[in-house]
Structure 1
Amino acid sequence: MDLNALSPYIRVALDNVIVPTWKVKERDLFDYELLYIKEGEVIITVLDQVYNGQPGDIFLFKPRQRHSIAVKGSIPLRQPHIHFDLFYRPDSPEVKVSFKPIEEMSPQEHAWFREDDCSVPPFDLPNHFRLRNPLVFEKLLLDLIREFNMGLPFSQASVKGLFIQLWIFLLREHHWNQNSHIHSNWEQLTKVKQFLNHHFNEEVNVDKLAEMANLSNNHFIRLFKKAFGSSPIKYHQMVRIEKAKEMIQFTSIPLTEIAEEVGFQSIHAFSRAFKQLEGVPPSFYRSQKQ
């Protein structure tokens, strides 16, 4: 799935206060619902899994996932929530919020079901979240709801932007929850990454980088690759080649000098590394120069 294609459509955005004894009977949604518990408690069942929702909890209901909601106790439930499509479709404005199980739906309603893109990578999100800092999420959600309901000019575009901020925050928090070992070493890892960005013209070795991160060599390599998608040495190589591409395209410096500038000891080593990463020799980029 290409995240660049993300184009959300917000169908409903409400900050409701619900009285005790209120409930939503079992239903299947056409779209997604993101529900935040700000005040009160709630019992939520999703696909036979029962959750006791408390303030700060977030629930994500996905298309075709049968669920029910019931207020717990005597305190009113405040539940800011939104219904949305992750990807705009021509029928997005026509689709309604479902309050029925799938067996009671018409053929037209069956055609409204969205694909469940949130249960597979790159999202792969659970139904229930407990965040380390729910107040950041709460502010983003309430800002979105406020903007949606004010109806100002260009509000639909503004709401899309706010949703993307909210969505990325949720994805990152889930990523940190799943990779707490990376999060706890994030400062050291980014320190090493910045060092590599600024020392593209120097040779580096794992021993020095691991020492900088105050980690063992093997543990450092594993964490760096998990955090940034490549080993530290390969990342450094990519930084050097990106800098070389910039110099090739936007200056007239000879390739032999560029090779030296980005830390290669010979034009042959430079050309070999360049072609390995880019699939073409450095002379190709020089020939593309306008």
Structure 2
Amino acid sequence: MSSGTTDEQRLADLARLRRVKDRIDRDYAQPLDVDALARGAHMSSGHLSREFKRAYGESPYGYLMTRRIERAMMLLRRGGMSVTDVCFAVGCQSLGTFSTRFAELVGMPPSLYKDRAGDATLGIPSCVAKQVTRPIRNREASPTSGT
């Protein structure tokens, strides 16, 4: 097999991975799992997981949960919804899993974030608030982690 064929295959895989990433971004609130994403990309779930992590620094599931938590943060800042309602609105099926992942990414449980969110962004333009309040992603992939 020539390196041209290998390069073509890698480019084709990257295009499929981008479509998977776009689908997660678009359909984050829908029931998504790695098997369904892999079928849609015509890849095995193992290959999708390995290549997605290689390309984007986290697993497809990790990326999906990060998208959901980002959206949850916005809904909690906006107010008017309970933590449980936000959990289900962003596509999570378990309040416990949602709360645990939220606390891992944001550094506090969603109920505390909800209580503090209004004060933290008071007077800050929404475009700046979005960046400041974004969850911390890829801690293990950061250049300071020694990997």
The TM tier, using the shorter chain, reads 0.5 to 0.7
1:281 aligns with 2:109: yes
**Structure 1: runs of 5+ lacking an equivalent:** 1-178
- Match in the other structure for 2:14: 186
- Match in the other structure for 1:202: 30
Alpha carbons 2:29, 2:89 under 8 Å: kept:
yes
Q: Which amino acid aligns with 1:233?
A: Y
Q: Give 1:232 shift.
A: 0.5
Q: Number of paired residues? A: 112
Q: CA RMSD in A?
A: 1.9
Alpha carbons 1:241, 1:274 under 8 Å: kept:
yes
Name the CA distance, whole Å, in 2 between partners of 1:196 and 1:202.
9
- Considering fraction of residues, name the structure with more strand: 1
Q: Give 1:182 shift.
A: 4.1
Q: How does 1:247-262 map to 2 (within 5 A)?
A: 247-262=75-90
- Match in the other structure for 2:138: none
Name the CA distance, whole Å, in 2 between partners of 1:267 and 1:219.
30
Q: Give 1:253 shift.
A: 1.4
Q: How does 1:159-170 map to 2 (within 5 A)?
A: none
Identity of aligned residues (%): 32
Q: Give 1:279 shift.
A: 2.4
Change (3 A) 1:210 1:266: closer
- Match in the other structure for 1:14: none
Provide the TM-score with structure 1 as the length reference. 0.36
Greater Cα radius of gyration, structure 1 or 2: 1
Provide the TM-score with structure 2 as the length reference. 0.67
1:214 aligns with 2:42: yes
Query: Which whole-Å deviations, capped at 9, do the CAs of 1:79-122 have from their partners, x for residues lacking one?
Result: xxxxxxxxxxxxxxxxxxxxxxxxxxxxxxxxxxxxxxxxxxxx
